[in-house]
Structure 1
Amino acid sequence: MTILWREAELAALFGTGADITGISIDSRTLQPGELFIALQDTRDGHDFVAAAFARGAAAALVSKPCPGHVIQVPDTLKALETLGAAAVQRAAAKRIAITGSVGKTTTKEMLRRALGAFGRVHAAEASFNNHIGVPLTLARMPRDTDFAIFEIGMNHPGEIAPLAALVAPDIAIITCIDRAHLGLMGSEEAIAREKASLYASLRAGGTAVVPGDSGFQPLLRAAIPPGAHPLVTGEDAKLLEYEPSPIGSESLIGLASGPVRLKLDAPGAHMVRNAMAVLLAAQALGLDPALTAAALDGFAPYKGRGARHTLTLPQGQVLLFDESYNASRASLRAALAVLRLQPGRHLAALGDMLELGAFADAEHLALRDDVIAACDMVFTSGPHMGLLFDSLPAAKQGAHAPDAASLAPLVKAALRDGDCLLVKGSFGSRMRDVIQALESPG
């Protein structure tokens, strides 16, 4: 069994240690031989130390006295950050940090797939992009990692810079600037400034990948530190040809080294833009662009982020696009564009876009023309999507419900053989309840 951290390494940091094979912050999923870290967040991890040892933990990192082989520290979160910083020092990995209003996880997974063709890749399995997830992903980085990929998220000012400083990336990617979290940030410019703070953490000689379609180009470029190199999607990676289809796209991308062919099993121009950022990151790493593009051949979206599959219902077969993990104006427009590419009747089940504050009503109503153009019938849940629903022509109105669970049976009853259904909303809108209802038998 591979040792992630040796006893001597942990002892050098915390005074005592153990050989551990992994790191867990959840006693329910802990594997034998792992270190359990008792974080104090929404729940106190110290309440689960005994359960962690029962599942075979090799040691527990705690800030309170507990029975068992424990490593006691004043603050377990600070200790996790210390462990993450030590992981950076011991591994020679090239580190890539990603932020953006949308597309972070998809770009991370594209990078995981592409860089896997050139070496050992480390990246979080889930969207571990906050004050716990980033140091946890760092601490889990094996010593022989070649490429490490980190998502960095935010919904309040000042959150990106300290997390980016932990990563100290060689490459920093901003996927896009959109109006997500507008109610918490106050303006789109404030969002751009917060995202741009990622660039300040770049190592000397690093690369900043800049979204070329952003209206905040001067702000973003000004944030790149001296000695770092900008690469801009749309300029340093140009879309020379684009052939969309209902199931994906084929593109020709112009790079400094010449054009490369890109084939994705992920429909939509937004997916190609994400792939451009990946190609520029690979270029900055000195990797062969043609091999990078070839590694992306067949890339498909993930559950909750555009994954497509066919449902077999009593009334026939329905093509489902699962976009239930998140939503913003830009991501919803991109999803609607994918819906328009599909054959058959186009239906959408839409939940509220959250964290928009006083801007919420206007942000939802701004989607009216896009929804009308893409959809034959619309189902909505939540108060803000209810305003959008009321603004639609009667012929487009399927049904509205106060929540996703109530909406689900209305959507299911309206489906017909050959339909294509998009399900999308912010995570807190629980549109996954609609997905679950559709996938359940009966």
Structure 2
Amino acid sequence: MIPLPLDELRGLGDLDGEGEATGLTIDSRTAGPGDLFVAVRGGRAFVADARKRGAATLVPDDEHAALAAIGRALRSRSEARVVGITGSTGKTSTKDILAALCAAVTRTVATRASENAELGVPLTLGRLEPDTELCIVELGMRGFGQIAELCAIARPDVAVITAIGPVHLELVGSIEGVARSKAELVAALPEGGIAVVPRSAELEPHLRSDVDVRRVGEVDVELSEDGARIAFADELIHFPLRSRHQAQNALTALTAYEALGLPLERLQEGADRVELSRWRGEELALPGGGIAINDAYNANPTSMRAALEHLAGLGAERKLAVLGGMAELGEHAARYHRELGTLAAELGIEVVAVGELAREYGAPTWVPDAPAAVAAARERLSPGDAVLVKASRALALEGVAPALANAH
């Protein structure tokens, strides 16, 4: 981490330590000499442990305000360019892909997993080193104003919006509201900044004339068993990705890479390094030669449609989808669930619906929770089948696909 004088943090809470911090953590188990342990959530119980490990400690008066102040202080000391990434779908995968592309050619720090909110953004900035050249920060959203608050910490130079679609409708009311909240990232750019955005009628009114806007069209991709070949800059770039929606995320990342002025001749080097965060389309072999797709990190109508269409396009003769409900859709929830239930039927996919919201899929088979979903899927699966597992995080279905893969 960029060295940060501890004296600058006095006034944020109970600070114990002298000199400079060269590491930032909220997990006492990873704390050591030179680190600053910030006690958030239940962390107060582990302050003594962090001190024994040689770390300075801060018990903040206000957790989010303290971490924001630390993040701003680190950002102000860095000369790295900052890319902010948000979107209704695909932001973590796009971040993963862009990070792999950039890390091959420039010293890069990127958000880990989905650490994209009030704690995660400062922690990402806490991994900046004096020689870091690029920082890729994922920005989550639960309502109006949150992305603006995160941008005040990260101060992005480049904005990447992956998609605009029906998410968090309980909080923002409509897809137009989604666009307005995501566009807070564009509003935070300096004059002359760069915005990489989807083609979206809802987003267009929020774009700026003093920003270089790069619009991402539909991906031109060849999909095969060994991955995706994406047409870009007069070349075919191979990625270890097997779905069209992940190829679309890769095109967004490629567009951002080009906008950053990085060498196009080294794109393949970075593409070969791509690894997506867990539970985002992970493919697991099933006993008997079938496949389980663990896409259980989260779900919304757009990502659910893409996942179902990908499942339908696989070579397996029979397809099964274990689908939990999609959260935060407000008054629109029943309609979106019914539409996706109809789509699954049209695609010839049998559905095991999981949880109360999922009743609206209209599937003949309904179960209350993950253990029951494993049992129901096992009853239906035969050798060579393909099964998709997808739901909002509250359903915690991430263990279903591994349980099916490990069945004997």
The aligned amino acid for 1:179 is P
1:360 paired residue number = 333
Q: Is the 8 A contact 2:117 2:140 kept in 1?
A: yes
Summarize deviations over 1:23-58 as a string: whole Å, max 9, x none.
21122444565321012xxx342222123234x142
> Residues 35-54 of structure 1: matches in 2 within 5 Å?
35-39=36-40, 43-54=41-52
Q: Give the Cα–Cα distance (whole angstroms) in 2 for the partners of residues 209 and 278 of structure 1.
A: 9
- Whether the 8 Å CA contact 2:92–2:277 is kept in 1: the answer is no
Q: Please name the residue that 1:216 is paired with.
A: 202
Give the distance between the partners of 1:436 and 1:272, measured in 2 at CA.
Answer: 24
Q: Hey, what's the Cα distance between the residues in 2 that align with 1:299 and 1:47?
A: 38
d(CA) in 1 for partners of 2:178, 2:398: 27
Partner of residue 192, structure 2: 205
In the alignment, is the contact (CA less than 8 A) between 1:246 and 1:342 conserved in 2?
Answer: no
Q: Which residue pairs with 1:275 in the alignment?
A: 250
Q: 1:113: Cα distance to partner? A: 0.3
**Residue 417 and residue 441 in structure 1: after superposition, are their counterparts in 2 closer, same or farther (change >3 A)?**
closer
Distance in 2 separating the partners of 1:349 and 1:195: 30
Partner SS, residue 104 of structure 2: coil
From 193, 196, 215, the counterpart of 1:232: 215
Match of 1:371? 344
1:2-401 matches, cutoff 5 A:
4-6=1-3, 9-14=5-10, 17-31=18-32, 33-39=34-40, 43-54=41-52, 56-63=53-60, 74-212=61-199, 214-221=200-207, 224=208, 226-234=209-217, 239=219, 241-246=220-225, 248-253=227-232, 258-297=233-272, 299-312=274-287, 316-344=288-316, 345-390=318-363, 397=364, 399-401=365-367
Taking a change above 3 Å as real, the CA distance of residues 259 and 217 of structure 1, as seen in their structure-2 partners, is farther
**Structure 1 segments of 4+ aligned residues over 3 angstroms from their partners:** 12-21, 28-33, 74-77, 297-302, 373-376, 439-442
Farther-moved stretch of structure 1 (23-32 vs 107-116): 23-32
Tell me the residue number matched to 1:67.
Answer: none
Q: Distance in 2 between matches of 1:77 and 1:116?
A: 29
Indicate the SS of the match to 1:230: strand
Q: Higher relative contact order by CA 8 Å / sep ≥ 6: 1 or 2?
A: 2
Q: 1:339 to 1:291 in 2, by over 3 A?
A: same
Secondary structure of the 1:244 match is strand
| Uncovered stretches (5+) of structure 2, i.e. residues with no partner | 12-16
How far apart, CA to CA, are the structure 2 residues paired with 1:246 and 1:420?
A: 15
With over 3 angstroms needed to count, the CA separation of the structure-2 counterparts of 1:377 and 1:32, relative to structure 1, is farther
Number of equivalenced pairs = 402
Task: State the Cα distance separating 1:76 from its structure 2 match.
Answer: 4.5
Residue 128 to residue 219, structure 1, CA distance change in 2 (3 Å): same
TM-score by length of 1: 0.85
Q: Match of 1:164, SS?
A: helix
Q: Which amino acid in 2 is paired with 1:250?
A: R
User: 1:36 corresponds to which letter in structure 2?
Assistant: F
Deviation at 1:79, TM superposition (A): 2.9
In structure 2, the CA distance between the partners of 1:364 and 1:263, relative to structure 1 (3 Å rule), is same
Q: Do 2:85 and 2:139's aligned partners in 1 also have CA atoms closer than 8 Å?
A: yes
Question: What is the percent sequence identity of the aligned residues?
Answer: 36
Decide whether the 8 Å contact of 2:296 with 2:390 is kept in 1: yes
Q: Deviations over 1:134-183 (max 9, x none)?
A: 12211232221111010111122211111112111111011001111112
Instruction: Indicate the SS of the match to 2:374.
Output: helix
- Kept in 2, the 8 Å contact 1:261–1:290? The answer is no
Q: Is the 8 A contact 2:23 2:126 kept in 1?
A: no
Distance of 2:331 and 2:2 partners within structure 1: 48
Tell me the SS of whatever aligns to 1:380.
strand
1:72-103 per-residue CA deviation (whole Å, 9 max, x = no partner) reads xx544323222211221222111100010111
3-state SS of 1:367 partner? helix
- Cα shift at 1:227: 2.6
What does residue 378 of structure 2 align with? 412
- Work out the CA distance in 1 between the residues paired with 2:407 and 2:23: 38
Which amino acid in structure 2 is aligned with residue 422 of structure 1?
L
* Distance in 2 between residues matched to 1:75 and 1:17, nearest whole Å: 21
Quote the Cα distance in structure 1 between the aligned partners of 2:132 and 2:34: 21
